[in-house]
Amino acid sequence: MNAPRPGIAERLSQMIQLPTVSAELEERGARPFEAFVALIAEQYPLVHEALALERHTDFGLLFRWAGAGSGDPLVLMAHYDVVPVDEDDDWTHPPFAGVIADGLVHGRGALDDKGPLIVVLEAVENLLADGFVPARDVYLSFGGNEETYGGAAQEIARVFRERGIVPWLVVDEGGAVVDAPLPFVPGRAAMIGVGEKGVMTLRLTARGYGGHASAPPALTAVRRIARAVDRLGPRTFRPRPSKAVGRMLSQLAAQTPGPARLLLRLLGAAPPLTGWVFAALGGEPAALVRTTVAPTMQSGGTAANVLPSSASATVNLRIALGETTQQTVLRVRRRIADPLVTVTVVEASEPSAESPTDNEQFALLAEALAVSHPGVAPVPYVMMAATDSRHFHRFAPAVYRFAPLDMSNAQRASIHGVDENVEIAALERGERFHRALLERLG
């Protein structure tokens, strides 16, 4: 077998230099997105020669690699759009320069999600150069608007269902290879999302009497909205640990020495206790076990001395596995307890089902991981953010969210933040993971 071709860092740098910011489509236009499609055709000639490409909507790319057998296909997913950059943020390197320095590739999208995308394309290109044919069909599904609710992936999933194609395995972004996955758990773990929380955006609106600010009523529209937001605190939803959290704790116990191992085993066997402990820890542990509520925007008023006749707030919720969007809205309305505050659903997506860990698909992920990251155990967990794969979990039996890249805590914090970067060595290991996955697909 030939060695992987060099230059992965340079190719990712070129990708990053294209500002495919889906939330700024109106300002920037579609040119960066079309330039990205042209760029990967240039960078990956064998992929474009051997695989059939379909365009779905303006931003969905679906490649089909015909396999030697007739089994249900593998779908490898990623997205090539990125989130905006706040111009007030101070980046060490310009976010769209794609600077390569100190063994890293810097820039917006390095981890989310052009890095995970490029390791898929690299693996396929390298295997094609060796004359490899997969044991079953392989689809590469790349969306250009994941950060704005994923219309391209939604359409691709609809096409799969229309054609009667049920993927045997779907792998999308999500987890990664991380250090110290919990505060008291040492070592590294490959966190694989076996389910993902639902997403809901609500708009709270209240009307009141306008007029001069010198004689305000007791409860203005702004005060009413502020009170409603205040009532939607962290304890709005009770802890509800999913089975995946129990499986995660049991797996992590195996690699944890001392008294912490007993604690993990106890938590894994006692979901109510797990919910209480994780909720008390706050942050990511709390988000693993319950629906979260995050007020993200507020508006109202036109002048400093004028009472606004209306005010509003936008609230983003991530819905725990086992709950529904309908239950969530009812809970929010009960907590607000104000009939003069209107609650409107702007966007909603149900939580996923949990994919199993005792099947051939998860075992295949573990085999590939043993090649790319020897000694790192696969650990199931619940994905807290939304991915394009949520459009597949309604009909595909095995959907996992895992980007095979090493990410430090600082790198994970840079996603959607400042100074996003990825190690070149991590990209090389990510390519190795996907190559091993495809080689063992039989």
Least confident of 7-16, 75-84, 297-306, 368-377: 297-306
User: What pLDDT sits at residue 238?
Assistant: 95
Sole residue written with tokens 């996923």: 352
> What sign does the CA torsion over 426, 429, 433, 435 have?
positive
Mean pLDDT of the chain: 95
Strands (E), 300-440: 306-307, 310-319, 341-349, 377-383, 399-407, 421-423
User: What pLDDT sits at residue 1?
Assistant: 67
The C-alpha angle with vertex 124 and arms to 419 and 391, in degrees rounded to 5, equals 70
User: What pLDDT sits at residue 212?
Assistant: 74
Q: What would the mean pLDDT of 357-378 be, rounded to a whole number?
A: 97
Q: Where are the domains of the chain?
A: 8-196+352-439, 198-349
DSSP of 47-60: HHHHSEEEEETTTE
For domain 198-349, the CATH architecture is 2-Layer Sandwich (3.30)
Q: Tell me: the pLDDT tens digits for 245-298?
A: 999 999 999 889 988 899 999 999 999 999 999 999 888 889 999 999 999 999
Beta bridge partners of 399: 170
Q: Tell me: the pLDDT tens digits for 404-423?
A: 999 999 999 999 999 999 99
Structure tokens at 320: 């725990």
Domain 8-196+352-439 has CATH 3.40.630.10: yes
Are 79 and 146 spatial neighbours (Cβ–Cβ below 8 Å)? yes
> What sign does the CA torsion over 294, 299, 304, 306 have?
negative
pTM for the predicted model, two decimal places: 0.93
Are 189 and 418 spatial neighbours (Cβ–Cβ below 8 Å)? no
Q: Tell me: the pLDDT tens digits for 176-230?
A: 999 988 877 889 999 999 999 999 999 999 998 877 788 788 889 999 999 999 9
DSSP of 426-442: HHHHHHHHHHHHHHT--
